[in-house]
């Protein structure tokens, strides 16, 4: 669908008409200075300042809110040298869940929890403010290898050949949030008018943001890899099973990159949008308890070579918690192992809190090609 908001062309791949709140948010984005193109993915939904499920291009300005606070958040997937039947019985599932609390905590507050270090390239890279560097050496060290809360997860899945896959969704933890907040505050001090805040990529504030965002993206990558490694250690301990690391799919969906589209150089911002360049591999999760997909990008320039990053929320977290009782979550999770002790806290992550992932995939057939569909077996979420 083509939409014209002022001088800014908007392309969309939708499962349903946009709500009034989303339309207002998109209109505000399109009216922001230097916004050249906007593409809406089928999982688009309301979020702070800029919707999730949006790819946007500028010539010079960088909009931190169009990347989000969890800079570098993304997905990793890898197959085990094992059949999915490994987790068929309750005893095995219970041992895995118990082990995940030890190997992949949602939070890490003590120094004696491994790994408690930063890889050399992250340790040596300087952030733009001394406060951020101090956080790097404290929170950054302790939180590496932790999952986080909300929609982040570790999930075990079966493909149509019966193989066991791991899927991880996590990001830059508190560091990404601190970096985003720092640069938004700096921008607010320079432009306190209430407009969508931007930094100039050719000036010091923009260069400082790009430096710090690149660090957060690298940190998020290392965080996911640390989680993958921890899960492999757990499975070797429990079952003597390793992973086939050559199958690793790894990408992020919250970033800004310099890219060329239709012969024009842009700063492409993605907030909850998967890069989908031609033949680029990616992971599109459904929701807790529903199918997920491994995909290949088709390189559609009109979409800024992007696709959805997931199913997208149907209800906000607060609305989902009001609408969805615990018993409904448990019904929807039939056939998927999870920690029932936390069922009440997970209502905002119930499958019906999200859009229909199959409808989302149909809406973006032009953008991605499905390589495989996976069904969930066990879901672990931080609470």
For 160-188, the pLDDT digits (tens) are: 999 999 999 999 999 999 999 999 999 99
The two three-digit tokens of residue 168, written as one number: 């991880």
- The residues that bridge with 311 in the sheet, in sequence order, are none
What pLDDT score was predicted for residue 382?
82
Mean pLDDT, the chain, whole residue set: 94
Cβ atoms of residues 261 and 305 within 8 Å: yes
For residue 63, what pLDDT is reported? 98
Q: Which of 1, 2, 58, 52 is nearest to 22 (CA)?
A: 52
Please state, in angstroms and rounded to a whole number, the distance separating the CA atoms of residues 342 and 347.
9
Show the tokens assigned to 304. Answer: 């800024």
2-314+354-380 maps to which CATH number?
3.90.1860.10
pLDDT digits (tens, 9 = 90+) for 270-291: 999 999 999 999 999 999 999 9
> Which DSSP category does 313 fall into?
B
**Pairing relation of β-strands 306-308 and 52-58?**
unpaired
**pLDDT score recorded for residue 117:** 75
- How far is the C-alpha of 354 from the C-alpha of 52, rounded, in Å? 13
Task: State the Rg of the chain over Cα.
Answer: 20
- Judge if pTM exceeds 0.85: yes
144-179 burial, b for 16+ CB within 10 Å, e for fewer? bbbbbebbbbbbbbbbeeebbbbbbbbbbbbbbbbb
C-alpha to C-alpha distance for 30 and 9, rounded to whole angstroms: 8
Residue ranges, the chain, pLDDT below 70: 1-6, 108-116, 192
């Amino acid at each position: 669908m083509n939409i014209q908001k002022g001088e800014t062309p908007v392309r969309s791949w939708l499962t349903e008409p946009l709500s009034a709140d989303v339309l207002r948010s998109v209109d505000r984005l399109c009216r922001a200075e230097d916004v050249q193109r906007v593409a809406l993915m089928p999982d688009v939904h309301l979020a702070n300042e800029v919707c999730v499920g949006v790819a946007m291009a500028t010539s010079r300005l960088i909009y931190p809110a169009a990347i989000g606070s969890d800079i570098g958040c993304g997905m990793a997937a890898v197959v085990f040298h094992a059949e999915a039947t490994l987790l068929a019985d309750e005893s095995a599932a219970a041992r895995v869940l118990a082990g995940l609390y030890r190997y992949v905590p949602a939070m890490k507050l003590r120094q004696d929890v491994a790994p408690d270090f930063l890889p050399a390239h992250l340790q040596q890279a300087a952030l733009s403010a001394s406060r951020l560097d101090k956080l790097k050496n404290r929170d950054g060290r302790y939180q590496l290898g932790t999952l986080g809360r909300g929609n982040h997860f570790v999930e075990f899945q079966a493909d149509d050949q019966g193989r066991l896959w791991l899927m991880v969704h996590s990001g830059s933890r508190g560091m990404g949030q601190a970096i985003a907040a720092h640069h938004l505050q700096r921008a607010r001090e320079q432009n306190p008018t209430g407009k969508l805040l931007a930094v100039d990529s050719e000036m010091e504030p923009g260069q400082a943001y790009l430096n710090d965002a690149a660090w957060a993206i690298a940190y998020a990558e290392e965080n996911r890899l640390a989680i993958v490694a921890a899960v492999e250690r757990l499975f070797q301990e429990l079952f003597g099973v390793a992973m086939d690391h050559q199958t690793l799919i790894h990408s992020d969906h919250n970033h800004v990159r310099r890219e060329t589209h239709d012969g024009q150089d842009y700063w492409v911002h993605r907030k909850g949008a998967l890069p989908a360049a031609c033949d680029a591999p990616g992971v599109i999760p459904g929701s807790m308890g529903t199918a997920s997909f491994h995909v290949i990008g088709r390189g559609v320039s009109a979409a800024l070579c992007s696709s959805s990053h997931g199913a997208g929320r149907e209800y906000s977290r607060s609305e989902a918690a009001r609408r969805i009782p615990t018993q409904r979550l448990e019904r929807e999770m039939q056939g998927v192992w999870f920690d029932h002790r936390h069922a009440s806290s997970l209502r905002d992550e119930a499958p019906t809190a999200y859009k229909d992932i199959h409808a989302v995939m149909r809406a973006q057939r032009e953008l991605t090609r499905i390589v495989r569909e996976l069904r969930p077996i066990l879901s672990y979420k931080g609470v």
